[in-house]
Amino acid sequence: MSQPPLIAVLDYGIGNLRSAEKALAHAGAEAVLTADRAVIDRAAAVVLPGVGAFGRCREALDDTGLDEVALEAVASGRPFLGICIGMQLLYDASEEAPGVAGLGVLGGTVRRLPDGVKHPQMQWNQLDVLTECPLFDGLGDRPWMYFVHSFAPEASSQVVATCDYGGPVTAAAQHELVMATQFHPEKSGAPGIRLLANFVRLAASVAA
């Protein structure tokens, strides 16, 4: 049996990062929660999770030096997955933290969810998968995923899935091998594990 790919989950001390590590291990990866640059450099793929507030997460990423490590991982061409606030950090900026720059990997701004709906969206919601993306292999066009958020990236050509919450809301995006989900696959039961298994398989194929 082939060796499972090493996937580094960036440990910058914010939120329950270990839940992402455990879910990736369950999905077939050799997952490790780490801030060790040497480990991250040799990983087949890198994951940036996040919960809480955009500004606080960006500050913690900077304090640990993992902002530069994340950008280097993206530049290396390895598969990279941002989850929830980890997704939002890949954009240029967020309305939640005016004046705080994102990593600028995915162009655009993270916007507050529409008026007239409860903030945060804290529920299961059904996706509309708009275009092919390796994350959604075998999941069909309308899988259910679990969301907890009050902000989401604005619409762009990089959006690969939306959900309906007072109108279309960005649920997932992709640019080359950088992928990101606004929902929490690690909290989304069997569909979320299938999505992570797709990411693990992609990491293995790129590393082979």
Read off the DSSP letter of residue 201: H
C-alpha–C-alpha distance, residues 138 and 157, integer Å: 23
Active site residue 57: no
Claim: this prediction has a pTM higher than 0.85 = yes
The yes-or-no answer on residue 26 being catalytic is: no
Mean pLDDT of the chain: 97
Catalytic-labelled residue, pool 21, 57, 163, 184: 184
Q: How far apart are the C-alpha atoms of 23 and 30, rounded to whole Å?
A: 11
Catalytic residue among 21, 149, 163, 186: 186
Which position among 21, 57, 84, 163 bears the catalytic label?
A: 84
Q: Is 68 a catalytic residue?
A: no
Whether residue 83 is predicted with pLDDT greater than 70 in this model: the reply is yes
d(CA 194, CA 196): 5
* Predicted confidence (pLDDT) at residue 66 exceeds the cutoff of 90: yes
DSSP state of 134: G
Confidence class of residue 139 from pLDDT cuts 50, 70 and 90? Answer: very high
**Confidence band for 208, pLDDT divided at 50, 70 and 90:** confident
Q: Give, in order, the Cα–Cα distances in Å from 178 to each of 4, 71, 109, 206.
A: 20, 11, 17, 13
Contact 125, 144 (CB under 8 A): yes
DSSP state of 28: T
pLDDT tier, 2 (very low <50, low <70, confident <90, very high otherwise)? confident
Please state, for a pLDDT cut of 90, what percent of the chain lies above it: 97
Q: What is the pLDDT of residues 142-193, one digit of tens each?
A: 999 999 999 999 999 999 999 999 999 999 999 999 999 999 999 999 999 9
For residue 98, give every residue at least 6 positions away whose Cβ sits within 8 Å of its Cβ, in sequence order, or none. Answer: none
For 117, other C-beta atoms within 10 Å of its C-beta total: 14
